[in-house]
Amino acid sequence: MRNRIFLAVVVLFALAAFAQQTNNSSSSNSANAGVTQSASDREPLTSPRPKDFWDGDDPNLVNLVTHPFANKKYVQRQVTPIRDRINELEQITSENSRVIKDVDTRAQQGIQLVSEKTSLADQHASDAANKAQSAQTAANVASTRVSTAEQMVGNLDQYKGSAQTEIRFRPGQTMLSKTAKDALDEMAAPLKDQRGYIVEVRGFSPGQGQAAIRSSQKMADSVVRYLVLTHNIPVYRIYVMSMGNAPVTGEVNRSSGARVEVNVLKNDVVTSAQR
């Protein structure tokens, strides 16, 4: 058994020596061939260290057993720089991924913030447009109302007589007679629920000075009292004038004596606008 092992070792040494000589011959031939080639066709310079299995060591049993390829520490020394470089690359890759993720997160936040601000600006613009439209509508309504009011104010003095009656009194009498009440009823009945009218009451009385004025005032007051209490005509629509024995300028064929003239004046323009 030992002879077989020894024989195998010897054969192995012989093969290793033959391989080394073959490699050396190949290297010599390559170098000689490179001399004849041009500079551009030259192969890269070889490493100063031998590239054979023995790595410059003599082929023997001791070197075979103690060769670096068979040593775990040698393998670790060869692998450690590669592993360190791989770890460094992994760290750089992780750092780059973290930076990219951070940049992407900030970009997404910026985009979201811009989108929110854009939406808020659009909402404010829409609210401003709605308010402007409401203001324009209110201004148009106000302008229409002002125009209507101006028209109404301009037509306030355009009253026209629609009814007229005369209440006669006996000398020294201030009470209304049955005939006087019937005449007032006929005149005031159409005024119910009406607007845009005024009632003019003018009292006349024979006599002199203040006595005639006081007498005409009492007769006019009796007519006003009857219109307010019986027909619910607002007091602010009644205008009373105590004329005494003053003549009416520009009026002819007027009767004399104690009397009260009642005139209903209507403004047709105001009445139609209120309807």
Residue 47 confidence (pLDDT): 47
Span 89-94, mean pLDDT? Answer: 90
Residue 220 confidence (pLDDT): 92
Burial 260-275 (b: 16+ CB within 10 A, else e): bbbbbbbbebbeeeee
Residue 181 confidence (pLDDT): 92
- Say if residue 210's pLDDT is above 80: yes
Residue 252 confidence (pLDDT): 47
Phi, psi at 96, each rounded to 5°: -65, -40
Q: How many domains does the chain have?
A: 1
- Say if residue 53's pLDDT is above 60: no
Binned at pLDDT 50, 70 and 90, residue 174 comes out as confident
Residue 40 confidence (pLDDT): 47
Is 197 inside any structural domain?
yes
Whether the pTM exceeds 0.85: the reply is no
Query: How far is the C-alpha of 256 from the C-alpha of 262, rounded, in Å?
Result: 15
- Say if residue 21's pLDDT is above 70: no
Over residues 232-257, the pLDDT tens digits come to: 999 999 999 988 888 765 554 455 78
Q: What is the CATH number of the domain that holds 268?
A: 3.30.1330.60
Is 190 inside any structural domain?
yes
Cα–Cα separations (whole angstroms), residue 245 to 35, 141, 159? 159, 52, 26
Over residues 138-154, the pLDDT tens digits come to: 888 878 877 776 665 56
Query: How far is the C-alpha of 147 from the C-alpha of 195, rounded, in Å?
Result: 21
Is 121 inside any structural domain?
no
Is 221 inside any structural domain?
yes
Is 240 inside any structural domain?
yes
Is 266 inside any structural domain?
yes
Which residues constitute the domain of residue 235?
A: 160-274
Residue 63 confidence (pLDDT): 60
| Amino acid residing at 87 | N
Is 265 inside any structural domain?
yes
Pairing of the two strands 160-168 and 259-266: antiparallel
Is 101 inside any structural domain?
no
- Say if residue 223's pLDDT is above 90: yes
